[in-house]
Structure formats: C-alpha cells, structure tokens
C-alpha cells in the first residue's frame, strides 16, 4: 500500500507527564508579552524612538512661542527677524513631526497586527494539541470567546489604544519636565492637583482590573450559552423549550450588562477626577502666575508657554480615561488568552516515525476520566495483527468506545501504553500517526461548506479527480452524479443537509484519501435504517479492504465478518475469540449477542461508553 509522506520533526516536543514543553514565559503580563514580541524587538525599539521624537516635536510649539514673545515682541520695538525665525522653526518641526508620526503609526500597526496574529495562532495550535477529554470538559463557547471576543479586544487596543496611550503618558512626562524647567514656582502650584490625579489613577487601576475581568467572564458566559443553544436548537424546538432557552440567554445578557455598567461607572468617576485636576491646575497657575509676573519673577512669554503647556496636558489627561479603560479591557482579555495557553497539553506530540508494518497493541492499559473518578478500563491487553478485523462488543458503560479512542490516540491512557509495532504512540508525531491510524465517528463529523471542502479536510492538496475517485471507491459515485452541484454541493452545518448514511459515506471516502493502515470505526452503522446500513457496510468493506480494522459493533453482520471478537465488560477484556467460538462457549458474548438487531442499543453520548 502506498505511503503518505510523514513529518519527520515536530514543532511541539512533548513530555511524558502530559505537559507541553514551553519556553520561558517572563514575569507578569508585560514580561510575557515581551517574550512573544522577541522576534520584533528591533522594530519595537525603532517605534519607541519615533514615539519619543514625535512627542517632542508636538510639544515644541509653546517653547518656540516663548522665544518669539520674550525675544521678539516684548520691548519698545518688535523684532521681526526673531518672529520670522520662530515661525520657520515651528513649521519645520511640525512637518518633521508629521512625517515621523506617519512612519510610527505604520510601524506600530504592523507590530500590533503581527502580535495579534501570533497570539491567535498560538492559541489555535494549543487548542488543536488537546485531547478530546479537554473539549469534553471545556464549553465550546468559552473557546470561541477566547479566539473571537478576546482577540477582538486585543485588536481594538492595538489599532486604537497602544500608541495614543504611550504618547499620552510620554507627553505628560515631557510636560512635567518642561514645566519645571520653565518655572519651578508655577510647577509647585500644580503638585496638589497632580497628586490627586495620581491617587485617582491608582484607585482606577485597582478597581477597573476586577471590573473588566468580570466583563470578559460575562462575555464568555453569554457566547457559551448562545453557542450551546444554537447547537441544540433542534432539541429545543422539539421539546418546546424556546421560552426557557430565551430566558437563559436573557439572564446571561443581563449579567453581562450589569458588569459593563459597573465598569462604566468606575470610568466616569475617574474621568471626572481627571477633568477637575486639569481645570484646577490652570486656575491656580493663572492666579499665581499673575502675581509672579507683576514682580518680574517670570516673563510674559514663560507664563504664556506655561499655560499653553497646561492646555496641551488637558487632551492626554482626558483621553487617558478612555485609553486606560480600553487597555484594561484588553489586558483582561490577554490574561484569559495566556490562561488558555497555560492549560497543560494532555496530548503532547512526539517526533518519531512509525514502522511500515506492525501490530496495533494495548499493553496493560488503564484509563479514568479524571482524578477521583472510577477506572473506566483496567489492565487491558489487546493486539491487532496487520490486516486483522477486530470487533469490540459489550454493554453500555463497559468501556469499549473508550478503548477504541485510546487505540486511535484521541487521548492517552492513564496507565500502560498503546503502541504500533512496538513504538509508543505518545512518541509519534501527529502527522505520522494520523496518516496511518484514523478514526471514523458515527456522526461523520462534517463541517459547514462544500462536499469538496469536507473531503479535503484530511488531504488539502487532493484534486477533484481524487475526491471523485474516493467517493466512487466507497460506492458513492452514483450518489455524487445525482447532485446538481457535484463536489460543490453544500453540506450544511455539521452535515445537516445530508442524511446519516451520506455523512458516513463522506467520512469513509476520507479514509480512502488518507490511505491509512489502521481504521477505527466507532459505531459507523449504529442507528441507520436497514437499507442505508447495507450501503454503508459495503462502503466500510471497500474503504477498509486490506487494512487493520477495529470496530465498535452493534450488528450481527459486523461481528460475523470480524476475524476476532473482543468482549469488553466491567472495564476489562472478558472474552476473546471468533464469533462461532464465543457463541459455542456460551459465556458473556453469547448473552450479549442475543440483544443485537432487536433490542435497544446504546445511546450515542456519555463519557463511559
């Protein structure tokens, strides 16, 4: 059988303790962010230099005015030469500042967009490295919120907040130095309002951090509830629970509104304190400045420049309320994303390749779904020879579907190991594993898009001819020919526009595209009508010909066609043999077999199947 080229190296080396190896993170939010930005440090340094330069240029105007007033206007005769030079200097500085500001905005924009894209990519990679156990315990809405609402908050901060905030802070620092240089007496007058503003800022940071963290939590709750209700909309309508679902969403939205109102109230208090400090400073300087000017302690130009600088301070001080609010919200979102990245990877990736041929085997495998939970499997030993077809049977809760998922490495055992030709699957790269061992779930697991899109999910470079050939190989060629749009046919959300049998045919066609050695089937024909069952069984036979097959069985036809039947009961392997041998033995399998094709079958969900 032709081989698919495997990935020889893994970008994410794993550890046996279940945690992914990560580079040093840095201390705190800023430290971690600087670590992420390390590849862009030279650009960050250049952006910082441009920021300092443009801020200094923006503040040069009042100083030039002071020179023009004191040297060119005060006296018996105005000096037009001084005024002309001052005007030319002001124009030159303003033009240079505008050019440098454009370069700075463009550079910071590129850095910010790279940072957001990098963070989103890391989060997606981290989520994709998790086992199905992680998704069982983590609501899909929470993950959607992290990758959408939280990333959007960062995007807004990068585009609208980072540069203005840094410029506002730098402007205030420069203004403080310039005001002291102009007149330390007038600067002292501004100390009391400045101390009040500093105290208000400390209070705002402490209070708003918790408020905006609460907002991010409420957003996650709302998105999670909305995602769950939309996913279960058919069930909601079937049982007439629209009112209850709406009430639950309204309750989540109300809690989100309350959290936002609290955050806005804190922001309004801070804004009032800032405006009062700015207005109070200007009033005090005008009163004290008039007295100093009357005693020739300051010049008219100095007083004019001082008041202008205070007026220049009003805009950054006023904008800090909005900017700090935005950045606190972004910081809360960033903490959520970092918390996601801190989740230990419970399916660490190895780097090894798999041998060409060998048995798939479980050695002393045990499994439980969480600390303190009972064992689902205990001391399981099972080996599938190359090309062998093995059926797993057992009562509900026996652990057969869990064993199937362990053999396909959808998650790792808590004891023992699962291997292929002697190689522990935990040591194998994900690409190498998935090109050799695949699992077909009972629902087909399709996504919104076209038929071609869903087939190419396992092999993106496949041609239309190869997709058509894969469908024909599982007996779906005639069905494809009846579709007006062919491979461009839309399958709907979760494959909702296709029947259960058609979804299974698409899933089996994926197996043909991958050319895998081992196929694990989790109840691939469970719940189908007899006619569709025969069609899918023929497709299964075609897709798995010559391959090693492990199937969770509920049909007599499935167990009769297996080389061996493995009975899983009470967390272990109870019996192993052929169908006829186990029937003749009259043990556990003989009892279970009487329930096939005529008794209620297992439900599709649950953790301990």
Question: What is the per-residue pLDDT across 557-597, written as a single tens digit (0 to 9) for each?
Answer: 788 888 999 999 988 999 999 999 998 888 888 888 877 75
pLDDT exceeds cutoff 90 at 30: no
Beta-bridge mates of residue 392: 552, 566
In a domain, 575, yes or no: no
In a domain, 441, yes or no: yes
pLDDT exceeds cutoff 70 at 54: yes
pLDDT at 608: 31
Q: What angle do CA 73, 76, 80 make, to 5 degrees?
A: 40
pLDDT band at 443 (very low <50, low <70, confident <90, very high): low
pLDDT exceeds cutoff 60 at 219: yes
pLDDT at 367: 92
Helix or strand run (H / E) with residue 384: strand 377-384
Q: Of all residues in the chain, what percent carry a pLDDT higher than 70? A: 90
**Pairwise CA distance, residues 57 & 543, whole Å:** 71
Does 196 share its domain with 338? yes
Of the candidates 461, 391, 528, 482, the residue with the CA atom closest to the CA atom of residue 471: 482
Does 236 share its domain with 335? yes
Does 328 share its domain with 402? no
- Report the CATH number at residue 429: 3.40.50.300
- Report the CATH number at residue 76: 1.20.1560.10
pLDDT band at 523 (very low <50, low <70, confident <90, very high): low
pLDDT exceeds cutoff 50 at 535: yes
pLDDT at 215: 83
In a domain, 8, yes or no: no
372 contacts: CB under 8 Å, gap ≥ 6: none
Identify the DSSP state of 353: P
pLDDT band at 9 (very low <50, low <70, confident <90, very high): very low
Of the candidates 435, 431, 429, the residue with the CA atom closest to the CA atom of residue 349: 429
pLDDT exceeds cutoff 60 at 339: yes
Q: For CA atoms 576, 577, 579, 585, give the dihedral sign.
A: negative
pLDDT at 77: 67
In a domain, 98, yes or no: yes
In a domain, 13, yes or no: no
Of the candidates 547, 349, 566, 550, the residue with the CA atom closest to the CA atom of residue 436: 547
pLDDT at 1: 37
Q: Which residue has the tokens 């808590």?
A: 414
In a domain, 151, yes or no: yes
pLDDT band at 527 (very low <50, low <70, confident <90, very high): low
Q: Which domain holds residue 473?
A: 435-552
pLDDT at 526: 53
The torsion region of residue 338 among left (phi > 0), alpha (psi -120 to 50) and beta comes to: alpha
**Pairwise CA distance, residues 487 & 207, whole Å:** 56
Of the candidates 408, 407, 410, 415, the residue with the CA atom closest to the CA atom of residue 378: 415
Pick the residue with more confidence: 60 or 450? Answer: 450
In a domain, 6, yes or no: no
Does 418 share its domain with 531? no
Of the candidates 221, 225, 209, the residue with the CA atom closest to the CA atom of residue 334: 209
pLDDT band at 85 (very low <50, low <70, confident <90, very high): confident
Does 420 share its domain with 444? no
pLDDT at 603: 34
**Pairwise CA distance, residues 164 & 319, whole Å:** 8
Does 410 share its domain with 447? no
In contact, 517 and 486? CB cutoff 8 Å: no
Task: For residue 467, give Cα distances in angstroms to 1, 57, 536, 607.
Answer: 18, 62, 18, 34
Last residue of a domain, one of 342, 374, 404: 342
pLDDT at 155: 77
Does 187 share its domain with 324? yes
Range list of H helices, 239-299: 242-294
Q: Which residue has the tokens 């699992």?
A: 439
> Residues of 141-165 as b/e, b for ≥16 C-beta within 10 angstroms?
bbbbbbbebbbebbbebbeebbbbb
By CB atoms closer than 10 A (0-12, 13-18, 19+), residue 406 is: buried
In contact, 137 and 130? CB cutoff 8 Å: no
Stretch 325-351: mean pLDDT: 84
Does 411 share its domain with 522? no
Q: How far apart, in Å, do the first and last CA atoms of the chain sit?
A: 33
Does 543 share its domain with 593? no
Q: Which residue has the tokens 């806005």?
A: 264
**Pairwise CA distance, residues 40 & 559, whole Å:** 59
**Pairwise CA distance, residues 49 & 53, whole Å:** 6
By CB atoms closer than 10 A (0-12, 13-18, 19+), residue 422 is: exposed
- Collapsing DSSP states into helix, strand and coil, what is residue 553? coil
Q: How many domains does the chain have?
A: 3
Dihedral over alpha carbons 454, 458, 463, 464 (to 10 degrees): -30
86-107 pLDDT, tens per residue?
888 888 888 998 999 889 888 8
Stretch 317-337: mean pLDDT: 80
pLDDT at 17: 38
Does 410 share its domain with 475? no
pLDDT band at 530 (very low <50, low <70, confident <90, very high): low
pLDDT at 234: 72
Of the candidates 595, 574, 593, the residue with the CA atom closest to the CA atom of residue 584: 593
Does 304 share its domain with 413? no
pLDDT at 567: 93
Task: For residue 218, give Cα distances in angstroms to 135, 222, 223, 224, 308.
Answer: 20, 6, 9, 10, 44
pLDDT band at 297 (very low <50, low <70, confident <90, very high): confident
**Pairwise CA distance, residues 104 & 108, whole Å:** 6
**Pairwise CA distance, residues 219 & 252, whole Å:** 9
pLDDT at 390: 93
In a domain, 348, yes or no: no
Does 252 share its domain with 168? yes
pLDDT at 415: 92
Longest dimension (CA), the chain: 125
């Amino acid at each position: 059988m032709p081989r698919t080229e495997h990935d020889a190296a893994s970008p994410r080396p794993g550890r046996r303790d279940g945690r992914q190896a990560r580079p040093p993170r840095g201390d705190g939010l800023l430290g971690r962010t600087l670590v992420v930005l390390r590849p862009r440090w030279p650009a960050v340094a250049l952006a910082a230099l441009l920021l300092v330069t443009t801020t200094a240029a923006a503040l040069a105007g009042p100083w030039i005015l002071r020179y023009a007033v004191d040297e060119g206007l005060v006296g018996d005769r105005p000096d037009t030469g001084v005024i002309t030079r001052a005007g030319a200097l002001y124009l030159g500085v303003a033009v240079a500042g505008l050019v440098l500001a454009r370069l700075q905005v463009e550079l910071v924009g590129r850095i910010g967009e790279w940072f957001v894209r990098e963070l989103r990519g890391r989060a997606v990679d981290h989520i994709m490295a998790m086992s199905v156990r992680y998704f069982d315990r983590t609501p899909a809405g929470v993950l959607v919120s992290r990758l959408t609402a939280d990333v959007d908050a960062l995007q807004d901060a990068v585009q609208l907040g980072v540069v203005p905030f840094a410029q506002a802070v730098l402007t205030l620092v420069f203004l403080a130095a310039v005001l002291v240089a102009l007149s330390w007496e007038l600067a002292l007058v501004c100390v009391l309002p400045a101390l009040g503003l500093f105290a208000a800022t400390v209070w705002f940071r402490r209070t708003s951090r918790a408020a905006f963290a609460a907002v991010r939590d409420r957003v996650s709750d709302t998105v999670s509830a909305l995602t769950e209700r939309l996913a279960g909309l058919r069930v909601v309508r079937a049982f007439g629970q629209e009112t209850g679902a709406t009430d639950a969403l309204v309750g989540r939205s109300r809690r989100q509104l309350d959290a936002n109102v609290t955050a806005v109230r804190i922001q309004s208090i801070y804004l009032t304190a800032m405006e009062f400090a700015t207005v109070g400073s200007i009033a005090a300087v005008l009163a004290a400045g008039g007295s100093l000017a009357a005693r020739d302690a300051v010049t008219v130009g100095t007083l004019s420049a001082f008041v202008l600088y205070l007026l220049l301070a009003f805009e950054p001080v006023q904008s800090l309320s909005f900017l700090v609010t935005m950045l606190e919200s972004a910081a809360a979102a960033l903490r959520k994303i970092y918390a996601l990245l801190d989740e230990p990877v419970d399916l660490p990736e190895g780097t090894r390749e798999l041998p060409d041929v060998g048995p798939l085997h479980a050695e002393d495998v045990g499994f439980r779904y969480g600390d303190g939970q009972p064992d689902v499997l205990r001391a399981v030993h099972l080996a599938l020879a190359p090309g062998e077809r093995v059926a797993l049977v057992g009562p509900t809760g026996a652990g057969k579907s869990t064993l199937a998922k362990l053999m396909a490495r959808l998650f790792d055992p808590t004891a023992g190991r699962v291997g292929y030709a002697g190689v522990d699957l935990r040591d194998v790269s994900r690409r190498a594993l998935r090109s050799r061992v695949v699992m077909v779930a009972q629902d087909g697991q399709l996504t919104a898009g076209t038929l071609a899109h869903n087939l190419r999910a396992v092999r993106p470079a496949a041609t239309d001819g190869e997709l058509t050939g894969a469908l024909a190989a599982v007996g779906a060629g005639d069905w494809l020919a009846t579709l007006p749009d062919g491979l461009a046919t839309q399958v709907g959300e979760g494959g909702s526009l296709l029947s259960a049998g058609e979804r299974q045919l698409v899933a089996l066609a994926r197996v043909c595209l991958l050319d895998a050695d081992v196929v694990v089937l989790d109840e691939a024909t469970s719940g189908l009508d007899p006619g569709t069952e025969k069609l899918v069984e023929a497709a299964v036979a075609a897709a798995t010909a010559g391959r090693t097959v492990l199937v969770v069985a509920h049909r007599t036809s499935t167990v009769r066609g297996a080389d061996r039947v493995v009975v899983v009961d009470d967390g272990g392997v109870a019996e192993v043999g052929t169908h006829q041998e186990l029937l003749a033995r009259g043990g556990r399998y003989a009892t279970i077999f009487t329930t096939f094709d005529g008794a209620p079958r297992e439900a599709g969900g649950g953790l301990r199947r």
